[in-house]
Chain A
């Protein structure tokens, strides 16, 4: 017996040693940490998980959330205490997407149905955005190369799919979703959320957000901060001894051999870079350049989001948003724009001033008329309605009479008239009586 064991010892130990090496080899090969991060979008994003990449996501995230309940009733969700879109996107960070496909194009009814998908959340962009940017935000390269996207419809029922909507041709993309956490989403949309009844409609074939009733919106106060001109001068021009300086009545311009910087007395800045070293060929590259250069210039981007893009001049606009509503003003304050002109010049417009600290306001809320009443009154007041292509809720800036660094941001209707966003009070004498300081 003893001899037999002695004889078997060697082959058994050899078998055990081979077995261990096999187990270790398999565990090594299947360990994801072993592979390079380059082919794994999730890990790539984690690598760049610093303040800048989070800001990129915030700047290029949707601005608005519309909830459609089980009966098809739609409500706009806002919160004075939580960045709802940010929370939803954080939740979507863990999703796994697969099998994207185009399920419809050119069919307005299907498009309207999808915007009214029962038991869903719809995340809206202010204007269409490159699908590649959405691919970056949601970490799924399958979104790349699709049409520009206006909306993301996220069913919160048992449908494990998500839809990307492109207004341009009424195109709907469908993508499979795994690892959703519906409980968390329901928690986000329940806690301290204001709900306004809305209806998503089509007007002349274009999606249109309709408010059937009066809208009550919160006022905000802000203390402005003004950055110094010298900060941008030293950052951009560097040594001003080689720059030519021209003083005008309302502005001062500094020119070096390849750059120009103009400061207006009201705090607006125009910066021209005549010698760019890279080319901007499409929307994705323009959005990328606009963001990267804003960071490099030191333009403050708090509460600032992507507003619009125009292919001519590759023009990118950012705007200050409050609770998902854009801020429109007569000055550059609260906006930043980037253009790539004639294939060699980059032009930036921004303000030295920004909204630094939220402060209490005297007035608490503003009540605005329903969409129907607004359109009716504009028509009755003789406004050429054929020139009105859109209306939307936003915020206007009301300066403080005593202190020029204090402002109140008050909600109002903006009307797209002659392709320009104007405050409804300036268009309609009906509302002139209540006109504030705009």
Chain B
């Protein structure tokens, strides 16, 4: 065997070794961290797929949240002098207002016009503290939620709802607002979006053959005590049946992943009224 032949054989062997080593480096890029937790969640996500539940891409990010207390602002009427171009009245702590001159809004995205107006003085009270909520808005109404601490409140007690006419005009709005907002407890880490959807599935609250339309992390009402309300961070999860197209919105306590039932229960039949959502 001549020297050239030996060189050829060696070249072949080294090319094979290179290919082998290259595949080794590729396979080693798998992250070793968090595998057990990730695996458990991935298994459930797979189970959900098996039940024909589509979830889209869910985030694993964990944010922080607080227990908050607040009261219903029943003094909005005193600020009516600030409002321009409208007739406002109070109906059980709700501002009900009609615009005197019609306001034309963007036909496709009415909130674009309203976003701009919200920053102006005299349009609504405390407009800069409200944020557009696309999930609850439609052709006839545009909904804005009150912002608190590091998020928004999802409650009819903290909301401005604009009425849009068929010819794309703003006719008026209703407004309820929270004040006296206090942090009751140091911040805690919340469960992730993915974990919230998994918990809802584990509670059997996502029907088979349906899809998760959207999720939103917001403060919602937990209980009423001594004239004040307690709000907690909640994952709102909207699902829709793929066959009947029936939509539902469910709540998951973002502190501990417990589910909320919608009916209200009395904790104790005492003189002090403590009402709470049934938090399982």
Contacts and interface: CB of A to CB of B under 8 A. Distances in A.
Interface of A: 10-11, 13-14, 17-18, 20-21, 24-25, 27-28, 31, 33-34, 37, 43, 46-50, 79-83, 220-221, 223, 323, 357-360, 362, 400, 402-406
B25 A46 contact: no
Contacts of B185: 220, 358
A48 B37 CA distance: 8
B162 to A, nearest CB: 32
A360 B180 CA distance: 11
Contacts of B55: none
Given A33-B30, A358-B185, A360-B184, A403 B37 contact: no
A402 B184 contact: no
B32 A403 contact: no
Contacts of A10: 4, 7-8, 11
Contact of A18 (B14, B66, B268): B14
A18 to B, nearest CB: 6
A81 B226 contact: no
Contacts of A359: 69, 184, 223, 225-226, 228, 230
Nearest to B24: A28
B7 A47 contact: no
A14 B17 CA distance: 12
Q: Which of B14, B66, B225 has the most CB of A within 10 A?
A: B14
9 closest A-B pairs by beta carbon, nearest first, are A17-B14, A24-B21, A358-B184, A358-B185, A360-B69, A46-B33, A402-B272, A358-B67, A360-B228
B186 A360 contact: no
17 contacts: A17-B17, A17-B18, A20-B14, A21-B14, A24-B21, A31-B28, A43-B33, A47-B36, A49-B34, A50-B36, A81-B183, A81-B186, A357-B67, A357-B222, A360-B69, A405-B268, A406-B274
Provide the main secondary structure of the chain A interface. Answer: mixed
Nearest to A31: B28
Contact of B21 (A25, A220, A223): A25
B260 to A, nearest CB: 13
B39 to A, nearest CB: 11
Contacts of A48: 36
A82 B11 contact: no
Given A33-B32, A81-B66, A82-B187, A28 B25 contact: yes
A20 B18 contact: yes
A150 B257 CA distance: 35
A373 to B, nearest CB: 29
Nearest to A35: B32
Given A14-B7, A28-B25, A323-B186, A21 B32 contact: no
A43 B36 CA distance: 13
B183 A80 contact: yes
Interface of B: 4, 7-8, 10-11, 14-15, 17-18, 21-22, 24-25, 28-37, 66-67, 69, 182-188, 222-223, 225-226, 228, 230, 232, 267-268, 270-272, 274, 276
Contact of B11 (A17, A43, A223, A362): A17
B272 A403 contact: yes
Nearest to B15: A17
B37 to A, nearest CB: 5
Contact of B186 (A14, A18, A25, A83): A83
A370 B29 CA distance: 59
B36 A14 contact: no
A47 B274 contact: no
B274 A223 contact: yes
Contacts of B230: 357-360
B17 A21 contact: yes
Contact of A24 (B18, B32, B268): B18
A139 to B, nearest CB: 13
B270 A403 contact: yes
A17 B31 CA distance: 29
A406 B186 CA distance: 19
Contacts of A323: 186
B46 to A, nearest CB: 19
Contact of A33 (B7, B28, B222, B272): B28
A367 to B, nearest CB: 20
A43 B186 CA distance: 29
B272 A27 contact: no
Contacts of A25: 21
B28 A402 contact: no
B8 to A, nearest CB: 7
Nearest to A42: B33
Contacts of B186: 79-83, 323
Contacts of A80: 183, 186
A49 B228 CA distance: 37
B226 A404 contact: no
B14 A47 contact: no
Contact of B34 (A24, A47, A79): A47
A21 B222 contact: no
A393 B267 CA distance: 33
B169 to A, nearest CB: 42
A34 B11 CA distance: 28
A20 B28 CA distance: 18
Contacts of B8: 10
A31 B25 contact: yes
Nearest to A224: B267
Contacts of B184: 220-221, 358-360
Contacts of A49: 33-34, 37
Contact of A405 (B34, B228, B267): B267
Contacts of B17: 17, 21
Contacts of A17: 11, 14-15, 17-18
A386 B176 CA distance: 61
A31 B225 CA distance: 57
Contact of B22 (A24, A79, A362): A24
Contacts of B11: 10, 13-14, 17
A27 B28 CA distance: 11
Q: Among the interface residues A28, A80, A403, which one has the most CB atoms of the partner chain B within 10 A?
A: A403
Nearest to A25: B21
B191 to A, nearest CB: 9
A323 B183 CA distance: 14
A246 to B, nearest CB: 30
Contacts of A79: 186
Contacts of B18: 17, 20-21, 24
B5 to A, nearest CB: 10
B35 A47 contact: yes
